[in-house]
């Protein structure tokens, strides 16, 4: 990340559910899927989570209190305390682009990709694709 993670998280208890809503944003450096160059991207993500709660609310009983029911493979709560870092880490990782592309994308010629692959790489790739298309055509499969 090249900027701090900023946002707001709101928690509301309905008595039998804990509702978490939030919106966060940051800026991160990722690797271009085509050329491997570092590329800065904006990452925005939000939460709309519901966690079941069991027990009697503390306002109704001095002996007991309501507890969040653990139902996640990776615990988001320690007792009744939300592990905010774990929740934000999960949201950030899910929001990161899977195939981030630099300004050249897939459609333009990328000088960095050309430099890494060498001048003959596109010709070799085209030759392999032609062979694959020919093979598929001979076996009667549509391309």
Using one digit for the tens of pLDDT, what is the confidence trace for 69-106?
A: 767 667 778 877 888 998 999 999 999 998 888 888 88
- Closest to 82 (Cα-Cα) out of 1, 4, 6, 13: 13
User: What is the pLDDT, as a whole number, of residue 41?
Assistant: 92
Top pLDDT among 132 and 43 is at 43
Cα separation of 139 and 143, whole Å?
Answer: 11
Q: Are 97 and 17 in contact (CB under 8 A)?
A: no
Question: Measuring CA to CA, which residue among 143, 36, 24 is closest to residue 100?
Answer: 36
Is residue 30's pLDDT more than 90?
yes
Q: Which residues contact 3 (CB under 8 A, 6 or more apart)?
A: 26, 27
Per-residue b/e over 60-88, b at no fewer than 16 CB within 10 Å? eeeeeebebeeeeeeebbeeeebeeeebb
Q: Within 10 Å of residue 13's Cβ, how many Cβ atoms?
A: 13
* pTM for the structure as a whole: 0.66
What SS3 state is found at 124?
helix
Q: Specify the pLDDT at position 89.
A: 93
Task: Identify any residues that bridge with 53 across adjacent strands, giving them in sequence order.
Answer: 68
Residue-level pLDDT at 62? 55
**What pLDDT is attached to residue 105?**
82
**pLDDT of 68:** 76
Q: Which pLDDT value is given to residue 84?
A: 92
Closest to 5 measured CA to CA, from 31, 22, 27: 27
């Amino acid at each position: 990340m090249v900027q701090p993670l900023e946002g707001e998280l709101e928690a509301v208890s309905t008595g039998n559910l804990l509702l978490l809503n939030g919106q966060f944003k940051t800026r991160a450096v990722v690797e271009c899927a085509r050329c491997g160059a570092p590329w800065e991207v904006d990452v925005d993500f939000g939460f709309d989570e519901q966690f079941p709660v069991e027990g009697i609310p503390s306002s109704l009983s001095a002996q007991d209190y309501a507890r969040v029911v653990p139902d996640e493979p990776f615990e988001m709560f320690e007792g009744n305390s939300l592990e905010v870092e774990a929740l934000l880490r999960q949201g950030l990782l899910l929001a990161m682009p899977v195939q981030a592309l630099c300004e050249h994308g897939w459609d333009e010629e990328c000088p960095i990709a050309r430099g890494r692959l060498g001048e003959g790489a596109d010709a070799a790739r085209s030759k392999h694709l032609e062979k694959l298309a020919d093979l598929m055509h001979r076996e009667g499969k549509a391309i």
